[in-house]
A and B are shown apart, each in its own frame.
Chain A
Amino acid sequence: MSATGTVSEPSLGMDSFDSFEDTLRRLREAFKAGQTRPVEFRVAQLQGLGHFLGANKQLLQDALAEDLGKSPFESDISEIILCQNEVDLAIKSLQTWMKDEPVATNLLTKLSSAFIRKEPFGLVIIIAPWNYPLNLMIMPLVGAIAAGNCVLLKPSEISKNTEKLAELLPQYLDQSCFAVVLGGPEETGQLLEHKFDYIFFTGSPRVGKIVMAAAAKHLTPITLELGGKNPCYVDDSCDPQTVANRVAWFRYFNAGQTCVAPDYILCSQEMQERLLPALQSAILRFYGDDPKTSPNLGRIINQKHFKRLQGLLGCGRVAIGGQSEESERYIAPTVLVDVQETDPVMQEEIFGPILPLLTVKNLEEAIDFINRREKPLALYAFSNNSRVNQVLDCTSSGGFGGNDGFLYLTLSAMPLGGI
């Protein structure tokens, strides 16, 4: 799908902030002219997205490897395949999604037709993060395109290599309706001074507040996908190895840089003693004797985060792992014990391959601990009995996984969001 741009556009369809106002105006005019409305147009754009993913698969894998040390397996299953799936789903379902939804009428309106009409908002801006730089840019983009909007994409400047590939995107889309803008926090702040009809932001709660405050000035509706410390409760009734396999996999995937990864474990003292060797065994099996040489373990995105995580290694006591290597931004799959609630590792979202284990006396104490803190994006509970349901009933979180990790994300029939 080749792009159709006007003569004044830079050839890659990528704009620097100098012609930024022009870009916004161009996109708004295209929307006003009704370009993005016809279903054929939307399908064509989605197909263009599909081509982008297919034609650049190798390049994308390479970029993700450069940015985050992601193995082709991780890139495929957590980014490329999921995006392709979303594109396919949208193309298949578009007609149904776009249909007017008839509703029940009351006696007074029985002779009328009442329905809900789905309409695009207009100009949407999608601000993507660096940890799943492709997924968290393309997934919302699919939705925005399917709904008939014009979209401005702001990929993360921190995942530099993926950012470069994002610049190719407009070539596969109609450039009068879609554009990519590059820049850091300062440029993004300037961007947000302008009016958008919808803002989709994925990132930290701290920046989320800034985005929402900026949106408030224009009364722009927003979706904020933020983060939190996702608790993982492990009941005594479980088989430690099964639990360890699942928790370890989800914790160390993408070197722990996943917003829905289990952030810390809550379990009894006895369970902790059984879990530790099981975790050791799982880590050994997944990453071998020397995880640094395993092609399956990712790397920390940049120096700033590496140093932050290195600092956290001093909390409590290192039971497993604990090694780090600055030149590679490598941190070993680590498990910490004897961690206090007041330790730095429990004050912020870890976002790295470090798993603290905290002991609680019983389920009630665990639930209390969880409810004392901010609502997390995800909550996990492992149990062989109905305890899982108890945790579910007494807590609140964006999403919930019983006896597993964030597999629920792969179900496109379920909403993904926080609270």
Chain B
Amino acid sequence: MGCREECWAKMAAMMKAFPQRLVDLMFLRAVSTSSMGTLPKRVKIVEVGPRDGLQNEKNIIPTPVKIKLIDMLSETGLSVIEATSFVSPKWVPQMADHTEVLKGIQKFPGINYPVLVPNLKGFEAAVAAGAKEVAITGAASELFLKKNINCSTEESFQWFDAVLKAARSANISVRGYVSCVLGCPYEGKISPAKVAEVAKKLYSMGCYEISLGDTIGVGTPGTMKDMLSTVMQEVPLAALAVHCHDTYGQALANTLMALQMGVSVVDSSVAGLGGCPYAQGALGNLATEDLVYMLEGLGIHTGVNLQKLLEAGNFICQALNRKTGSKVAQATCKL
């Protein structure tokens, strides 16, 4: 506090001496660097490997392997693990065993196991299978919604309304996702105002948290900052999460920017599982190991044991017969 006051006093003195433009620049520089000192003390990591990660993997994983992965993740200290998606196997064959997975995993106390639900039918099936938390997906792009789930923004809002009402009656928490927040594979650029509109809708309807997803990983720290500045005016910071894909290698830098702006919930995927269906050969989610490495280095508490996480990542990569997408895992592996 004393340091900041000293800083302002210095600024005031300098303002008298320097031309206005220079002062503006110095002020802005001070602001931009001082924002680095306001990182959250704790970050909640939402592990989406078993769902967002696996659903983008080509090889179909047997149910017992999925269950073992989730059980291993449950022992790492992670407090939220997205287990599966109650979507039709016609669309996402990887998630066909959603009921068996949700019923088969060990549900450790203190850990949430949300599941994605695309419609009311999926929601009901999830509840019947024991789900205590669900996640629903909106998009900041009209075209993406049309191509992905064949409906308009307005129609998607009606669906949100239906599921949130049902969830309220059943005492089930709902997390909202917004896709394409930094760019859309169909529309290209996405305006922060549109993201804010969808996020606000989901939040005001009752989602406890809104995860803002850079679905195709095109974002950079600048676009992340612009988007968050706008969304933060409509949704409280504490209810926001970022979900960065690493398609262009920007995920960790974008996540750092989000943390600097006060976001304290980050989605990631063990071993950086998942591809990107819009860019063949491209990598998908931010790797949880690399995220934890950065957060630990920043002195931010995550509660996650990196070693156990590496073991879970190693397990699933062997099962998938693929190389890890995590650089931390790559560096620590013994060839």
Tell me whether A and B are bound partners: no
